[in-house]
Amino acid sequence: SQQGEEDPQALSIQEGENATMNCSYKTSINNLQWYRQNSGRGLVHLILIRSNEREKHSGRLRVTLDTSKKSSSLLITASRAADTASYFCATDEIAAGNKLTFGGGTRVLVKP
């Protein structure tokens, strides 16, 4: 079973709006990461938040982590058409060793 489950599965917004997606997980983690995948391409790392952090920013990205609820959110502010992609959360589980477990992803469409 997948550790990270993302919600919603798909999101359609207008350029300039904010996009928010959530990730829930089941076991204790070292960190949680968000990746982006453009259609037909490999994944690109966006941001990492460690288990002792609650919020992190990188440019137009804001990630929160609530370890008590085992959930994270990714906010993209002032979205652009170029933000159209699939976004995946990945958890570095404490018990899993040297690997990440990926969620099913959120497909984001930003309409110009």
Partner 1 sequence: NAGVTQTPKFRVLKTGQSMTLLCAQDMNHEYMYWYRQDPGMGLRLIHYSVGEGTTAKGEVPDGYNVSRLKKQNFLLGLESAAPSQTSVYFCASSYSKRVGGDTQYFGPGTRLTVL
- The residue (of 40 and 112) whose beta carbon lies closer to partner 1 is 40
101 strand-pairing partners: 91
Does residue 79 touch partner 1 according to CB under 8 A?
Answer: no
Cα distance between residue 109 and residue 28, in whole Å: 32
- 21 part of the interface to partner 1, by CB under 8 A: no
Q: Give all strands of the β-sheet with 19-24 in edge-to-edge order.
A: 5-7, 19-24, 71-76, 61-66, 55-58
Q: Look at residues 87, 110, 105 and name the one whose alpha carbon lies nearest to residue 13.
A: 110
- Rule CB under 8 A: choose which of 65, 70, 88, 93 binds partner 1: 88
Q: Is 103 in the site for partner 1 (CB under 8 A)?
A: yes
Site string for partner 1, 22-61 (x = CB under 8 A): --------xx-x-x----xxxxxx--x-------------
